[in-house]
Chain A
Amino acid sequence: GAVVSQHPSRVICKSGTSVKIECRSLDFQATTMFWYRQFPKQSLMLMATSNEGSKATYEQGVEKDKFLINHASLTLSTLTVTSAHPEDSSFYICSARAGTANQPQHFGDGTRLSIL
């Protein structure tokens, strides 16, 4: 149980393109979803937290107009990287949590984004 599906797994696109990444909880309702970014040889850094039907809460230093997050249903959150540039190339990972804050987070397999 507690499966999180993330799509696509890899995307390569030209600079200036907008890229959308989907995160779905397949067998549970995710009241809260999270988006992380991981650069090579580094740890995961939380970008934003989203609750179903509400605006996302962004961590300090994360541009909300650059990284658009939508959590329209209890099973789907999307991250759109707008006008992507090479410095946005990274590994993006989502997680989902059911219920309250003391419940575990379940992670997707990540999306490797490369901007040429």
Chain B
Amino acid sequence: GIQVEQSPPDLILQEGANSTLRCNFSDSVNNLQWFHQNPWGQLINLFYIPSGTKQNGRLSATTVATERYSLLYISSSQTTDSGVYFCAVGTGKLIFGQGTTLQVKP
């Protein structure tokens, strides 16, 4: 099956800093989504991005499908950005990566 690797596993930032999270996957996919899981367990859908680039406020994402990776950029981070970020990829069903745990300190 598809393998999904996220890096880094943990990230600590000072408020206001920028960061880049990476998601590598092992096979061609037609679905790629980025999520933020908050402390209550809710999965917040950030991007549906099987290819190309999208931006939403301080967040943006780029997927290079031919090279099988996706990047999530967080600019001017805030303490409310803390939590776990997952990418999930697949064709039909989604396989989740292990996540990046982000802590933003004030």
Tally the A-B contacts, defined by beta carbons under 8 Å: 50
Interface string of A81-115 (1 = CB under 8 A from B): 00000000001010100000111111101101000
Which of A34, A46, A49, A107 sits near B43, CB closer than 8 Å? Answer: A107
Q: Dominant SS at the B interface?
A: strand
Asked if A44 CB lies within 8 Å of chain B CBs, one says: yes
Given A102-B50, A105-B33, A43 and B94 touching (CB < 8 A)? no
Q: Name B41's closest neighbour in chain A (CB-CB).
A: A110
Q: Dominant SS at the A interface?
A: strand
Residues in A neighbouring B30, C-beta threshold 8 A:
101-102
The answer to whether A43 and B99 have CB atoms under 8 Å apart is yes
Which of the four size classes fits the interface of chain A? 20 to 34
The answer to whether A104 and B45 have CB atoms under 8 Å apart is yes
The answer to whether B42 and A49 have CB atoms under 8 Å apart is no
Given A102-B30, A102-B50, A104-B48, A109 and B95 touching (CB < 8 A)? no
Q: Name A101's closest neighbour in chain B (CB-CB).
A: B92
B-binding residues in A (CB < 8 A): 34, 36, 38, 42-46, 49, 91, 93, 95, 101-107, 109-110, 112
A-binding residues in B (CB < 8 A): 30-31, 33, 35, 40-43, 45, 48, 50, 86, 88, 91-99
Please name the 7 residue pairs, one residue from A and one from B, whose CB atoms are nearest each other, closest first.
A104-B48, A102-B30, A101-B92, A107-B43, A44-B96, A43-B96, A110-B41
A-B contact pairs, 23 of them (CB 8 A): A36-B96, A42-B98, A43-B99, A44-B86, A45-B96, A46-B93, A49-B92, A49-B93, A91-B41, A93-B41, A101-B30, A101-B31, A101-B92, A103-B31, A104-B45, A105-B31, A105-B88, A107-B43, A107-B45, A109-B41, A109-B42, A110-B41, A112-B41
